[in-house]
Amino acid sequence: MENKIGALKNKQVYFTDEVSELDTFIEKNKYTKVVVLGDNNTIENCLPYLNLFSSYTANADIIEIDAGEGSKNIDICIGIWNMMMDYEMDRKSLLLNVGGGMVSDIGAFAASTYMRGIDFINIPTSLLAMVDASHGGKNGIDVNDYKNMIGGFNNPTAVFIFPTLLDTLPAEEKKYGFAEIIKHGLIANEKHYDAAIAYLQEKENSDLNELIVDSILIKIGIVAQDPFDKNERKLLNYGHSLGHAIESSFLALEKPISHGLAVLAGMIIENKIAVALGLLTENTATKIAQDIQSIYTLPKIKADTIAPILHYLLLDKKNVDASIQLAIITKIGEGKVAQTCSTAMAAAAIQSYSEEIK
């Protein structure tokens, strides 16, 4: 474990419970000002812990936004920029994003565009953000119901992961965060997948910290091969073409579901497509669906939601020339990017999911 934590540190990812390491880092970089961005839950539950040990966060100005995906939009972003100006942040100021993926996505976007870009540090507070959203440099906001339509690539100056912050994360959110750990296992490492499922089924006392560290190593390893998402990195989008389309269609109905649940449903549907394409065995697809269903109550897709999901799917950023492009798995621990699938094939897979998950 020490070696793995050391490997992360070399990539400016600090996995520690020593909040003082954050102060040492900030001290070294001589920022003119430090501002904390968080949502109402993370400001209430996580900031007080950081403030116990960090004089920088304790003395920082605070920008608080409402919790929930509904805040990841341009209006809230304008509010953030206005407060950054009110706080007189300059190009040598630092933004600390203290929150889940919603906060790090919009915070990284706001910091990357403010005065053509200032430094920001992600301090993820949700499991999903610890293993996924806070790494890899993608930032962005949603437009209406369309997920991550506007945004860019820009790496955080550092990521500080304090696992203690998970203590206040609602149990359901923690469980949803596991969706990305499961995804990392399915695309890259069967053992990681088995360990995640065993942890969730409470069969084995796998160490959560080790699962987190392994999951980050998988993510940043894939990102390093292709930082700008042209090829190998698309593997991380496994489950997400369908997942985002499902998330958007529920958002449009004003019944938002968690990103993690949408991705789990997305993986099951994309596996059905991979089976139809002859790239995955039916047995493996069934095993994965059973594993997931033994742990999660999956979102139900009613017959009249299939058309809206297809509509959002066709707008997916990974599509080329209006043909649906998917990252799929060929077995547990291995995947393939840029597989073309027809609209009819996608419709049939969603239909089949909708009949199975009632």
Ligand X SMILES: NC(=O)c1ccc[n+]([C@@H]2O[C@H](COP(=O)([O-])OP(=O)(O)OC[C@H]3O[C@@H](n4cnc5c(N)ncnc54)[C@H](O)[C@@H]3O)[C@@H](O)[C@H]2O)c1
Give the residue nearest to ligand X (CB).
101
State the minimum distance, in angstroms, from the CB of residue 108 to ligand X: 7
DSSP assignment letter at 357:
-
CB burial of residue 318 (10 Å; 0-12, 13-18, 19+) = middle
How are beta strands 61-65 and 34-39 bridged, if at all? parallel
**Is 97 among the residues that bind ligand X (CB under 6 A)?**
no
User: Which residue, 232 or 347, has its beta carbon nearer to ligand X?
Assistant: 232
Please name the amino acid found at residue 190: E
Closer Cβ to ligand X, 176 or 353, answer by number = 176
Q: Which is nearer to ligand X, 128 or 280 (CB)?
A: 128
Q: How far is the CB of 257 from ligand X (least distance, A)?
A: 11
Q: Does 169 bind ligand X (CB under 6 A)?
A: yes
Based on CB atoms, which residue is closest to ligand X, 40 or 354?
A: 40
- Quick check: 156 binds ligand X (CB under 6 A)? no
DSSP assignments along 151-201, one per residue: EEE---SEEEE-GGGGGGS-HHHHHHHHHHHHHHHHHH-HHHHHHHHHHHT
Q: Which residues of 110-143 are buried (b: 16+ CB within 10 A; e: fewer)?
A: bbbbbeeebbbbbbbbbbbbbbbbbbbbbbbbbe
- Does 119 participate in binding ligand X (rule CB under 6 A)? no
Q: Does 168 bind ligand X (CB under 6 A)?
A: yes
227: helix, strand or coil:
coil
Closer by beta carbon to ligand X, 220 or else 345: 220
Name the site residues for ligand X (rule: CB under 6 A). Answer: 39, 41-42, 45-46, 67-69, 72, 99-103, 105, 125-126, 128-129, 132-133, 136, 138, 147-148, 165, 168-169, 173, 259
